[in-house]
Each structure stands twice: as C-alpha cells, then as structure tokens.
Amino acid sequence: MSFTETTSVGWLGRLGSSIKGILVGLVLLIVSLVMLVLNERNAVQDLKTNREISDKVVSVSADSVDSANEGELVHLNGRAETEDLVRNEQFGIEENAIRLSWNAEIYQWVEKKKSEKKKKLGGGEETVTTYTYEKKWVKESVDSSKFKQSDHDNAKEQKYGSGMSQAATVTLGVFKLSDGLTSQISWEEPYPLQELPEGLKKGGRLQGGVFFSGKPDEPKIGDEKVSFSLTKPGDVSVMAVQKGDSFTTYESETGKTKLLLYEGLLSAEEVVSGEEKKAKNLRWALRGGGVLIMFLGFLLILKPLSVLADVLPFLGSLVGGVSALGAFLLSIAISFVVIAISWMFFRPFLGISLLAVAIACLVAIKKMMSSKNRMPASIPPPLN
C-alpha cells in the first residue's frame, strides 16, 4: 500500500531557504570542531589510561582474598556463577541463572517515507514523496494518528512489555561481582517456553517456544509475541579495584574510570588490548562523524551558489558538484589540521603525517580555484 504527495517550491523560495541554511551550516561547523577537539583529547587520555592500567594491574587468584591487594587494581578470571533464581511470574518461569530476559513485540502498521526531488527550468524544485505502509513486528506500539493516510489503525494498547530478572549475587571464585560488573555479562541463549500458565492458555499459544497472543502464522494488527533468553554461568575475566571480597571502579590519573569484565579466560594483557581496540574504534567513529558534520555544514554554506545557478538545471548540478568537492576537501583538510595539532606533542610522527595530508587537501583546493579563475570569460567569435 502506498500514497504519493507532490509539492513544489519556486526559485526565490529555494534561495531564501538556502540563505537561512547558512546559519545552520555555521552551527554545524562549530559543533564538528568541538567534537573533533574533544575526541582527540579523549583519545590521548585513553592511551595514557590504558598504559597506566597495564603498568599497575596485578593478576590474582579467584580462590582466595589477599588483603595485601586491598585498594589495588587487580585482574582475575574464572567462572561467574550464582545460586539465585531468576523469575517471570506472568509466564510462570523460575530458573537458576545469572539473567532471564524477555523481548515483547506487537504487530503494527508501519509508515515509511521516501522523497525524490526534481529540478525544474527556472530554478524551481518539485518533490515527490511516497508513503508506503506495511505490517510488521515492532518493539512498541506505533502511533497511527500521525500517518499521512488515516486508514491504517493501530488503536490497540500493548499488553506485554520487555524486561529482565537478574541474580542479586553473582560470584567469581570467593569474590562477589558488583552490579556494574554483572551488568556487563552480555552472552545469552534462547529460552524456549515449554508450557503456558492456565491464565494465558485461553488467549495465547506457543510456537517454537515463543508466546503469541494470536495466530502465529496469521497475525493481526495488535497481536503480540514474547520470546525469552537466558544467561547461564560462564567464564569471565575481571579487571577492577579489589574492595574486600568484591570490586569497585578504578580511577586513572587522567580521570578515566575502569570497571572491566570480558567474556572468556583472558590474560591481563588481552584485557588491556581489548580496551585499546574499543577506544580505537570509538575515536575513528567519532572522527568520521566530525568530518561528516563539517561536510554537511560546508554544503549548507555553499548551497546558495548552486541554487543561484539552478535557473538552468544542468548548470546548477555542475556548480553543486564543484561545491560538494570543495566542501569535502575543506572538511578533510580542517579535520586533519585539528587532529594533527592535537597529536603533535603526543605522537609527533602521526601529527606531522596528518598535517601533510591536510596541506595536500588545501593545495588541491587552491589548484581547483586557480583553474576556475583561468577559464575564459567568454567564447571568442568564430573566424570568417
């Protein structure tokens, strides 16, 4: 099912919007610069912190509590276990495990929107928006009153919700894991229901161990399903500050905190390596986000140029392409300058390399502008 809507805006309207967009573009530039600077500062702190914990950590046994290590950063591994029961009373579940989780979904109409813009001669622009509707399982009820078409009703209120039951006491040898460590135990496996309580048998049924409030193979709008998963005892590696027979957070000299739990029997070196990998992935993701935000900012600032040229659509597309290339090169150059300056004193080789890339981008922009200026102002008349 689909619904199409067509809207148009004139050249003057587009020009006015693009001029307003300059302010948004300037805000995006400021946001990207702040984001890049803070990210590089955080990256330096991460490197110092990981070096610090690598130097200070002491590997201990989980079989006994050594008071000599009180307040020290320790590393140990073993099997995370519990004697507690986790429950879901609504479905009559009771199991000895670290965590019982349940995931509730509801069958709803979902609206998707796709827009295509077409330039018109004279600088105007036409936007064709297509709204499509489909039925699917979603986490929460969808408000159908906001749909573009009004004949897709999701009026039924959701009865079941997602949640979990977690063991209060989880041990690692003679030590007790703090809540902060237990919450980091993330592995799980499906827990298929075998039977429903009497109160749920009338309005529901099981298929593949999953509860359905309606017919599993022929769901209707408003039908719900609930699936379960169980986190059983398993091997873990912990790095934290020893506090009695439990653990607390380590605070580094840079102000960074560490309360670490990894799945499996890992050495202290492997735990530190895991932290370095996570920090590296995060800083590159944020760098990419900073460059993208800066690129969008420059696009908005340069947008009026392409709109002015859109009186002839092909000319507007050409100017838009050149503007996009310039915005990209500027974003790369400025971002690399920010990153290079941040690293110049911590890792000189990396800082100088990034600065060289930034300079290369600026040179490319200068050449592009120079070649543009050398273009003939007019075409000479043909010879007789």
Give the model confidence (pLDDT) of 331-346 as tens digits. 888 887 887 777 666 5
Whether the predicted pLDDT of 377 surpasses 60: no
138/134 Cα distance (integer angstroms): 12
Give percent of the chain with pLDDT exceeding 90.
55
Whether the predicted pLDDT of 211 surpasses 90: yes
**For 213-282, what is the HEC assignment?**
CCCCCCCCCCCEEEEEEEECCEEEEEEEEEECCEEECEECCCCCEECEEEECCCCHHHHHHHHHHHHHHH
pLDDT tens digits, one per residue of 145-187? 888 888 888 877 889 999 999 999 999 999 999 999 999 999 9
Whether the predicted pLDDT of 139 surpasses 80: yes
In this structure, how many other beta carbons lie within 10 angstroms of the beta carbon of residue 252? 18
pLDDT tens digits, one per residue of 212-235? 998 999 999 999 999 999 999 999
> What is the mean pLDDT of the segment spanning 260-277?
96
The pLDDT of residue 127: 78
Whether the predicted pLDDT of 379 surpasses 50: no
Whether the predicted pLDDT of 15 surpasses 70: no
pLDDT tens digits, one per residue of 50-107? 999 999 999 999 999 999 999 999 999 999 999 999 999 999 999 999 999 999 999 9
The pLDDT of residue 43: 87
Amino acid identity at 69: N
The pLDDT of residue 350: 63
CB-count burial class (<10 Å; 0-12, 13-18, 19+) for 371: exposed
Q: In this predicted structure, which of 38-42, 164-168, 180-184, 355-359 has the lowest mean pLDDT?
A: 355-359
Question: Binning pLDDT at 50, 70 and 90, where does residue 311 land?
Answer: low
Name which residue leads in pLDDT, 358 or 204. 204
Whether the predicted pLDDT of 258 surpasses 70: yes
DSSP3 helix / strand / coil % (the chain, rounded to 5): 40, 30, 30
The pLDDT of residue 155: 73
Round the average pLDDT of the chain to a whole number and report it.
86
Whether the predicted pLDDT of 12 surpasses 70: no
- Is residue 164 within a helix (H) or strand (E), and if so which, with residue range? strand 163-166
| Nearest one of 164, 165, 124, 172 to 8, comparing CA atoms | 124
The pLDDT of residue 327: 84
The pLDDT of residue 71: 96
In this structure, how many other beta carbons lie within 10 angstroms of the beta carbon of residue 334? 21
> What is the mean pLDDT of the segment spanning 356-374?
66
> What is the mean pLDDT of the segment spanning 269-298?
93
> What is the mean pLDDT of the segment spanning 36-52?
90
Q: Which pair of tokens denotes residue 156?
A: 């039924």
Whether the predicted pLDDT of 372 surpasses 90: no
Question: Binning pLDDT at 50, 70 and 90, where does residue 200 land?
Answer: confident
Question: Binning pLDDT at 50, 70 and 90, where does residue 17 land?
Answer: confident
Q: How far is CA 166 from CA 105, 156, 183, 192, 261, in A?
A: 21, 31, 9, 18, 17
Question: Binning pLDDT at 50, 70 and 90, where does residue 382 land?
Answer: very low
| Nearest one of 81, 15, 79 to 305, comparing CA atoms | 15
Q: Which pair of tokens denotes residue 314?
A: 């092909």
Show me where the domains of the chain are located. 8-50+278-373, 58-106+139-265
